[in-house]
Amino acid sequence: GIQVEQSPPDLILQEGANSTLRCNFSDSVNNLQWFHQNPWGQLINLFYIPSGTKQNGRLSATTVATERYSLLYISSSQTTDSGVYFCAVTGTASKLTFGTGTRLQVTL
């Protein structure tokens, strides 16, 4: 099956800083999603982005399907951005496969 790797595994930022999270995948994908898991376990949809670039407020994402990676940008980080960020992909007729996540801590 498809392998999904995320980097970095852990990230500590001061409030107001910017960051880039990376997701590499091993095969062609039909779908790619970015999620934020809050401290209570809820997975919140950030982007559905099999290709191209999208922006939503302080967050934006870019997927370059031909090069098998996606990037999630967080600008002007806030303490409420803390949590785990997951990338998940679906190949042709296959299940949604999650990466191991990037754990982000934003400090004051």
Partner 1 sequence: ETGVTQTPRHLVMGMTNKKSLKCEQHLGHNAMYWYKQSAKKPLELMFVYSLEERVENNSVPSRFSPECPNSSHLFLHLHTLQPEDSALYLCASSQGHPGTFTYNEQFFGPGTRLTVL
Q: Which residues bind partner 1 (CB under 8 A)?
A: 30-31, 33, 35, 40-43, 45, 48, 86, 88, 90, 92-93, 95-96, 98-101
Question: Which stretches of the chain are DSSP H helices?
Answer: none
Q: In the bound complex, what is the minimum distance in angstroms from residue 39's beta carbon to partner 1?
A: 12
Q: Minimum Å distance from CB 18 to partner 1?
A: 26
Question: Which two structure tokens, joined as six digits, stand for 94?
Answer: 């296959």
Nearer to partner 1 among residue 77 and residue 97 (C-beta): 97
- Which phi and psi (to 5°) does residue 67 adopt? -105, 5
DSSP state letter for 69? E
- Closest to partner 1 by CB, 15 or 48: 48
- CA dist 106 and 17 (Å) reads 9
